[in-house]
């Protein structure tokens, strides 16, 4: 019966809570049912629905590495009713989980290419499992570059990861903040502007970006200006979602549903949808 | 139209009575005092009739000739439906420890089928549209499908369509029984049965005594032809041909144009049109909790509401009502053609009837088409 019901979540336990920024926490979850836990697998970019029963259910990307069998990680920015309830959880408490949902980054098609990741704020979350996958399979990919942007130095999500990646020889990391401040020895400027000054070559390179809508909008413009082809640019979108299985209607962009046809789209796919996605 | 069976009106009552004994029969019932009309459980209807004997000012009758205020979609897709219960269980010995228990909504105990009697061909078509939404894709909607797979639709053709009916414009007809299990046409003092699906055969074979043996099929068929002709004359089109093959493309091209601002001007975003629509299927999901127990519900929602797409961050991809109305019309005349291969409007005309500011979806679509023609002239 449980398997037939697409709306009934699995119960999962919060194993660990990581305070990422003043507004963002990461929850590491473990599915209670042993069989379901062992059978669980997902692809980088797929999402899950988290419930705090009594408050609601919302969609977040699974941002742990697909090879990580210990837990599933989700990062949540405090914004509304359910995200506040998720922030108020303590370790050991239970949540509902429906996952994995949606499509994923076509990482196999990206083999043999340079990849540039452009993540703003919590927009780094959907890129994280892909970055981790590609670092674990570095021999399949050429140069990896990450441009991570945040409002202030305190607003970087996954600071420990970024630090590790910075030290790794497998990925070049550039960090930028919106406005200058003391004790910041790195880039200053809005993400699209920094990207433009970096002048990454579009030659055999795929660009993958996620961030607030306004950042995505201008980043896509810059990428096109730099000569990236529409099918070499990927983004992952957010919409208000409820059912997560293409029934309830609300996450549509034209005839596509972000929950089942997305959340990952190439710019080429997005430009074929008549309704503007921004 | 070939006549297979004939049943008199008197016997139809007996037949329904018999069907109701083993199944859940729903039929269009009119409250004569308030003039309201809606699909009702036959058992409920009989109760009302019984009560009305005590208070004669209240009268209830079966009326399949008029449109029900709401489409019968709510029989399979209720306005509000419980998805499951949840409960937090506290351990008194160890208050820190809280267990969570989930339970799927219990199925209603009924061995019989759901039979919709007297629904209009457009409403049967509406249900077939919902079948595609809830039954297609990797993940099915089992709440809808459970009810639907165990159901039969008995459709009665429309001898007298209403001025706001436009089924023929969107590819239907007042006698389209494609989506019905049993198709009936009202003739003289009874009903001619012109379609019986395999699933519905037993409804007739087990009740043979109600169906007339000696009927002059040719005479009834001639009568039906006359009825179909007179019905077609009554269909109230404001314009003739919808370019059904091209409509999706025409809609696509309209999306960037300012025409939608003009079309939407009057709209007050009340959502009444979506509430009565047989093909609107959007829903919201919410939790209700009291103490340690609660339920998760889903309920109908509408894309004309500004909260519909409003994200927790404050970002709203469709902040203006013209974008929302554009989405609504395109959902029906464009996006669902691409997703499910059909126009998601069956021409029942309910949205036109209920709109408090006299918006007319036919006019909206026509304006888009005319605007394109003008642009190319």
Mean per-residue pLDDT, B261-286: 95
Which stretch of B161-170, B193-202, B300-309, B353-362 has the lowest confidence by average pLDDT? B161-170
Among A223-237, B78-92, B362-376, the range of highest mean pLDDT: A223-237
A82 and A19 share a domain?
A: yes
Closest CA to B112 of B45, B188, B23, B190: B23
Q: List, for residues B206-261, the tens digit of each pLDDT value.
A: 999 999 988 899 999 999 999 999 998 887 665 567 888 899 999 999 998 899 99
Q: List, for residues B88-98, the tens digit of each pLDDT value.
A: 988 888 877 77
What DSSP line would sit under chain A, residue for residue? Answer: -TTT-TTPPEEEEEEEEEEEETTEEEEEEEESSHHHHHH----TT-EEEEEETTTEEEEEE--S-TT--S-EEEEEE--SHHHHHHHT--TT-EEEEEEEES----TTTTTTSEEEEEEEGGGGTTHHHHHHHHHHTGGG---EEEEEEESSGGG-TTHHHHHHHHH-TTEEEEEEESS--TT--SEES-HHHHHHHH----TTEEEEEESSHHHHHHHHHHHHHTT--GGGEEEE-----SSSSS-S-TTEETTEETTTT-SEEEHHHHHHSSS---
A217 and A182 share a domain?
A: yes
How many Å apart are CA B130 and CA B145, to the nearest integer? 10
Print the domain residue range for A91.
10-101
**Do B148 and B77 touch, CB atoms closer than 8 A?**
no
In this structure, what token pair is assigned to residue B320?
Answer: 């203006």
Classify residue B206 as exposed, middle or buried by CB count within 10 Å of its CB (0-12, 13-18, 19+): exposed
How many Å apart are CA B124 and CA B176, to the nearest integer? 9
| Contact between chains at B309 and A2 (C-beta distance less than 8 A) | no
Q: Is A14 a domain residue?
A: yes
Q: In the prediction, which pLDDT does B103 show?
A: 85
pLDDT band at B137 (very low <50, low <70, confident <90, very high): confident
**End-of-domain residue from the set A45, A80, A101:** A101
A85 and A121 share a domain?
A: no
Q: In the prediction, which pLDDT does A2 show?
A: 40
Angle at Cα B92 formed by Cα B89 and Cα B96, nearest 5°?
A: 75
Place of tokens 């165990």: B150
| Contact between chains at B335 and A55 (C-beta distance less than 8 A) | no
How many other CB atoms sit within 10 Å of the CB of residue A224?
15
Report the number of distinct structural domains present in chain A: 2
Which residues on adjacent β-strands are paired with residue B285?
B298
Classify residue A176 as exposed, middle or buried by CB count within 10 Å of its CB (0-12, 13-18, 19+): buried
Q: Which 3 state secondary structure label does DSSP give B116?
A: strand
Rounded to a whole number, what is the distance in angstroms from the first to the last CA of chain B? 43
A273 close contact with B: CB closer than 8 A:
no
Q: Is A198 a domain residue?
A: yes
Q: Is A152 a domain residue?
A: yes
Q: In the prediction, which pLDDT does B108 show?
A: 60
By DSSP bridging, strand B80-90 and strand B98-104 are antiparallel
Mean per-residue pLDDT, B312-329: 94
Averages of pLDDT over each 10 residues, chain A, 278 residues:
75 96 96 95 97 96 96 96 96 95 97 97 96 97 97 94 95 95 91 96 97 94 97 95 94 96 97 92
Per cent of chain B over pLDDT 70 is 96
A230 and A128 share a domain?
A: yes
Residue B7 has pLDDT above 70, yes or no: yes
Closest CA to A132 of A59, A228, A45: A45
Q: In the prediction, which pLDDT does B99 show?
A: 84
**Do A146 and A172 touch, CB atoms closer than 8 A?**
yes
Q: In the prediction, which pLDDT does B95 show?
A: 77
pLDDT band at B284 (very low <50, low <70, confident <90, very high): very high
Q: Is A4 a domain residue?
A: no
How many Å apart are CA B171 and CA B179, to the nearest integer? 13
**Do A214 and A193 touch, CB atoms closer than 8 A?**
no
| pTM exceeding the 0.90 threshold for the entire prediction | yes
Q: Is A163 a domain residue?
A: yes
Q: What is the CATH number of the domain that holds A15?
A: 2.40.30.10
Distance from CA of A135 to the nearest CA of B (A): 31
Q: In the prediction, which pLDDT does B235 show?
A: 79
Place of tokens 């670092």: A135
Q: In the prediction, which pLDDT does A144 show?
A: 97
A180 and A212 share a domain?
A: yes
**End-of-domain residue from the set A101, A132, A152:** A101
Q: In the prediction, which pLDDT does A235 show?
A: 97
Which residues on adjacent β-strands are paired with residue B114?
B24, B151
In this structure, what token pair is assigned to residue A53?
Answer: 């029963």
A121 and A228 share a domain?
A: yes
| Contact between chains at B137 and A246 (C-beta distance less than 8 A) | yes
B:7-46 residues touching chain A, CB 8 A cutoff: none
pLDDT band at B109 (very low <50, low <70, confident <90, very high): low
A94 and A23 share a domain?
A: yes
Which of A8, A78, A269, A277 should be substituted to probe chain B, the one whose Cβ sees the most B Cβ atoms within 10 Å? A8
Q: Which 3 state secondary structure label does DSSP give B6?
A: strand
Q: Is A248 a domain residue?
A: no
Which of A3, A10, A46, A275 should be substituted to probe chain B, the one whose Cβ sees the most B Cβ atoms within 10 Å? A275
| Contact between chains at B104 and A5 (C-beta distance less than 8 A) | yes
**End-of-domain residue from the set A101, A133, A159:** A101
Q: Is A91 a domain residue?
A: yes
**Do B343 and B333 touch, CB atoms closer than 8 A?**
yes
| Contact between chains at A5 and B289 (C-beta distance less than 8 A) | no
B301 DSSP 8-state letter: -
A59 and A121 share a domain?
A: no
A27 and A64 share a domain?
A: yes
In this structure, what token pair is assigned to residue B111?
Answer: 């061995």
Residues of B in contact with A249 (CB under 8 A): 281-283, 301, 303, 331
pLDDT band at B377 (very low <50, low <70, confident <90, very high): low
Residues of A in contact with B303 (CB under 8 A): 249-250
How many Å apart are CA A82 and CA B227, to the nearest integer? 57
A125 and A229 share a domain?
A: yes
A35 and A129 share a domain?
A: no
A77 and A122 share a domain?
A: no
Q: List, for residues B59-72, the tens digit of each pLDDT value.
A: 888 999 999 999 99
Which of A1, A7, A93, A238 should be substituted to probe chain B, the one whose Cβ sees the most B Cβ atoms within 10 Å? A7
Q: In the prediction, which pLDDT does A1 show?
A: 36
* Nearest residue in chain B measured CA to CA from A4: B142
Long-range pairs for B145-151: beta carbons < 8 A, 24 or more residues apart: B146/B107, B147/B75, B147/B76, B147/B114, B148/B76, B150/B113, B150/B114, B151/B75, B151/B76, B151/B113, B151/B114, B151/B115, B151/B116
Q: What is the CATH number of the domain that holds A123?
A: 3.40.50.80
Average pLDDT value for chain B:
91
Q: List, for residues B294-312, the tens digit of each pLDDT value.
A: 999 999 999 999 999 999 9
* Nearest residue in chain B measured CA to CA from A11: B100
Q: Which 3 state secondary structure label does DSSP give B141?
A: coil
Q: In the prediction, which pLDDT does A3 show?
A: 45
Q: Is A201 a domain residue?
A: yes
């Amino acid at each position: 019966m449980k398997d037939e019901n697409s709306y009934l979540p699995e119960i999962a336990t919060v194993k660990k809570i990581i305070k990422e920024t003043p507004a963002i926490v990461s929850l590491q979850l473990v599915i209670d049912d042993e069989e379901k836990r062992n059978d669980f697998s997902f692809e980088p970019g797929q999402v899950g629905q988290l419930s705090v029963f009594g408050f609601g259910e919302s969609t977040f990307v699974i941002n742990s590495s697909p090879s990580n069998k210990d837990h599933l990680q989700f990062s949540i920015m405090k914004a509304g009713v359910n995200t506040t309830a998720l922030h108020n959880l303590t370790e050991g408490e239970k949540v509902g989980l429906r996952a994995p949902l949606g499509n994923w980054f076509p990482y196999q098609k990206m083999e043999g290419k340079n990849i540039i990741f452009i993540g703003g704020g919590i927009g780094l979350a959907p890129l994280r499992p892909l970055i981790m996958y590609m670092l674990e399979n570095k021999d399949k990919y050429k140069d990896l570059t990450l441009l991570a942007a945040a409002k202030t130095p305190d607003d970087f999500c996954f600071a420990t990861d970024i630090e590790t990646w910075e030290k790794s020889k497998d990925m070049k990391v550039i960090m930028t903040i919106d406005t200058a401040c003391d004790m910041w020895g790195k880039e200053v400027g809005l993400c699209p502007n920094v990207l433009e000054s970096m002048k990454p070559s579009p030659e055999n390179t795929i660009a993958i970006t996620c961030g607030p809508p306004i950042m995505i909008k201008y980043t896509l413009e810059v990428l096109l200006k730099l000569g990236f082809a529409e099918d070499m640019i990927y983004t992952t979108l957010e919409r208000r979602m409820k059912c997560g299985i293409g029934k309830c209607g609300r996450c549509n962009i034209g005839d596509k549903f972000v929950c089942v046809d997305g959340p990952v789209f190439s710019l080429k796919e997005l430009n074929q949808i008549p309704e503007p996605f921004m | 139209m070939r006549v297979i069976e004939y049943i008199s009106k008197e016997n139809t009552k007996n037949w329904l009575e018999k069907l109701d004994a083993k199944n859940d029969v729903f039929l269009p019932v009119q409250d004569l005092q308030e003039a309201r009309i809606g699909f009702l459980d036959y058992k409920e209807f009989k109760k009302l009739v019984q009560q009305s004997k005590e208070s004669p000012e209240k009268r209830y009758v079966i009326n399949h000739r008029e449109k029900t205020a709401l489409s019968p979609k709510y029989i399979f897709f209720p306005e509000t439906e419980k998805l499951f219960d949840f409960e937090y269980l506290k351990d008194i010995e160890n208050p820190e420890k809280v267990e969570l228990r989930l339970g799927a909504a219990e199925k209603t105990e009924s061995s019989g089928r759901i039979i919709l009697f007297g629904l209009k061909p457009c409403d049967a078509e509406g249900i077939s549209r919902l079948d595609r939404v809830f039954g297609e894709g990797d993940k099915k909607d089992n709440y809808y499908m459970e009810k639907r797979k165990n159901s039969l639709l008995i459709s009665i053709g429309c001898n007298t369509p209403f001025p706001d009916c436009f089924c023929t414009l969107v590819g239907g007809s007042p006698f389209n029984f494609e989506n019905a299990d049993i198709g009936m046409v009202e003739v003289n003092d009874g009903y001619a049965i012109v379609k019986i699906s395999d699933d519905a055969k037993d409804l007739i074979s087990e009740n043979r005594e109600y169906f007339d043996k000696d009927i002059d099929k040719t005479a009834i068929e001639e009568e039906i032809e006359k009825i179909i002709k007179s019905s077609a004359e009554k269909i109230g089109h404001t314009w003739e041909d919808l370019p059904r093959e091209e409509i999706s493309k025409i809609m696509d091209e309209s999306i960037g144009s300012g025409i939608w601002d003009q079309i939407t001007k009057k709209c007050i975003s009340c959502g009444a049109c979506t509430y009565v629509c047989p093909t609107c299927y959007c829903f919201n999901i919410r939790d209700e909790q009291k103490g340690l127990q609660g339920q998760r519900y889903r309920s109908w929602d509408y894309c004309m509401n500004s909260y519909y797409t409003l994200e927790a961050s404050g970002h709203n991809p469709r902040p203006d009502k013209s974008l929302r109305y554009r989405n609504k019309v395109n959902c029906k005349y464009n996006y669902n053609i691409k997703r499910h291969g059909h126009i998601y409007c069956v021409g029942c005309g309910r949205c036109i009837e209920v709109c408090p500011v006299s918006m007319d979806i036919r006019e909206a679509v026509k304006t888009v088409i005319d605007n394109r023609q003008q642009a190319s002239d």
